[in-house]
A = this chain, B = another copy of it.
Amino acid sequence: MVIFNQITIIGMGLIGSSLARAIMEHGVTKRLVGCDNNEKHCQTVQVLNLVDHITSDPLEAIQGSDLIILATPVGTYGALGEALCPHMQAGAILTDVGSVKSNVVKSLSPYIREDCHLIPGHPVAGTEQSGPEAGFASLFDGRWCILTPPEGTDPDMVKILEKFWQALGSKVEHMTPEHHDMVLAITSHLPHLIAYNIVGTARHLEEVTNSEVIKYSAGGFRDFTRIAASDPTMWRDVFLNNKEAVLEMLGRFSEDLTALQRSIRYDEGDKLFELFDRNRRIRQQIIEAGQEEDVTDFGRHTEE
């Protein structure tokens, strides 16, 4: 199902390269152009034959494209928008895959021309791996993509972008950028932050050696190391660009943790039990919603 004449993906990391694979697999464009400022990434993309044309020059990359997808860390958007917007083809859509949305709108809207369309987006999907080798076509299949079109965006253009994501297997939802940032702060940003934090805490202990942390990590710790292995540049930019919502959620998390700490200190077993017992159900709901596999211990014992 061809939707676009030419799509350009700027940034061929995990998400960009997965998009390229999915776009090729589903045939949603006549021509696909990739762009990356990392020469090694460009070579990998070439070797893996992920796009029709790969270049390290973004201005060259966007020539003649009716869809441009930013898939670089969100901290790069301002400079990219300033450089690219004047040269976009009239009528083209500029979108992205960034994990924050309010600041993306702020970074890009000053540059977008009247005859082009800015429709920020966020596919809620990923792995702890990075780079063009790590991508795969089904990454977006069954996952949600959140679009945050600014007020006044041509609804036909939004529908075209919706069709694009649906062609890759995604389900599409609309939100305001502010609401998106609040929802993702709790479902994604805070989990990453506390995973990074506990791994850091473990690394700095004197009483417990690193090798002990590694040996006995099957007690729970190893689960946290997965998301703490995610791309550091991407996540630095997420936290700096969703400061308000992250600090708000972090404040609530810390309050709750302090209450929990108090319950432990004063032997309030009933309170602990009540919290632990209630929380069991949410995993079942996530599995029922198709957002998690129904597999014990992340399938670590599938050989049984």
Contact = CB atoms under 8 A, between A and B. Distances in A.
Interface of A: 99, 124-129, 134, 136-139, 143-144, 146, 173, 179, 182-184, 186-205, 207-208, 210, 212-230, 232-233, 235-237, 239-240, 243, 246-247, 249-250, 252-254, 256-258, 260-261, 264-265, 267, 269, 272-273, 275-280, 282-286, 289, 291-293, 295-304
Nearest to A221: B187
Given A200-B256, A276-B196, A216 B264 contact: no
B279 A219 contact: no
A187 B219 CA distance: 6
Given A217-B187, A272-B235, A304-B138, A264 B247 contact: yes
A124 B219 CA distance: 6
Given A226-B283, A257-B254, A201 B249 contact: yes
Contacts of A304: 136-138
14 contacts: A99-B219, A191-B221, A197-B256, A201-B256, A203-B279, A204-B252, A225-B286, A228-B276, A228-B283, A229-B280, A235-B272, A240-B269, A254-B258, A298-B299
B187 A198 contact: no
A187 B216 contact: yes
Contact of A252 (B195, B201, B221, B273): B201
Contact of A215 (B144, B213, B221): B144
Copies in the complex: 2
A240 B272 contact: yes
Contact of A229 (B129, B227, B267, B283): B283
Nearest to A213: B187
A192 B233 CA distance: 28
User: Which of the listed residues A129, A184, A197, A235 has the most CB atoms from chain B within 10 Å of its own CB?
Assistant: A197
A247 B219 contact: no
A293 B300 contact: yes
B219 A282 contact: no
